[in-house]
């Protein structure tokens, strides 16, 4: 009889644990969605940073070319 009572007690504990998991699942899903969105935004940011570096380098090249052209015209 004691064994049956212990089994029933353990079953109740398991049911409570399962309820807790089900209650926290939407919160976990929300965090997962936020993490996915954050990763997408981080990737986009890195792409923009790379494009920005490329544009800066191109601008520097253009300024050098213009500076050389101006110096050749003056000479």
In the chain, the percentage of residues whose pLDDT exceeds 90 is: 43
- Least confident among 5-14, 17-26, 58-67: 17-26
Q: Given a cut of 70, is residue 22 above it in pLDDT?
A: no
In this prediction, residues 27-55 reach a mean pLDDT of 88
Helices (H), the chain: 2-74
Would the pTM count as exceeding 0.75? Answer: no
Which string of b and e fits 45-60 if b means at least 16 CB within 10 Å? eeeeeeeeeeeeeeee
Tokens representing residue 41 in the block: 């935004």
Q: What is the pLDDT of residue 46?
A: 94
Opening angle at CA 64, ends 58 and 68, nearest 5: 145
**Confidence at 21, pLDDT banded by 50, 70, 90:** low
């Amino acid at each position: 009889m004691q064994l049956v009572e212990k089994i029933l007690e353990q079953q109740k504990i398991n049911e409570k644990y399962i309820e807790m998991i089900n209650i926290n699942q939407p919160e976990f899903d929300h965090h997962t969605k936020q993490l996915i969105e954050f990763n997408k935004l981080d990737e986009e940011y890195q792409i923009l940073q790379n494009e920005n570096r490329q544009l800066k380098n191109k601008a520097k090249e253009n300024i050098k070319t213009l500076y050389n052209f101006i110096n050749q015209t003056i000479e």
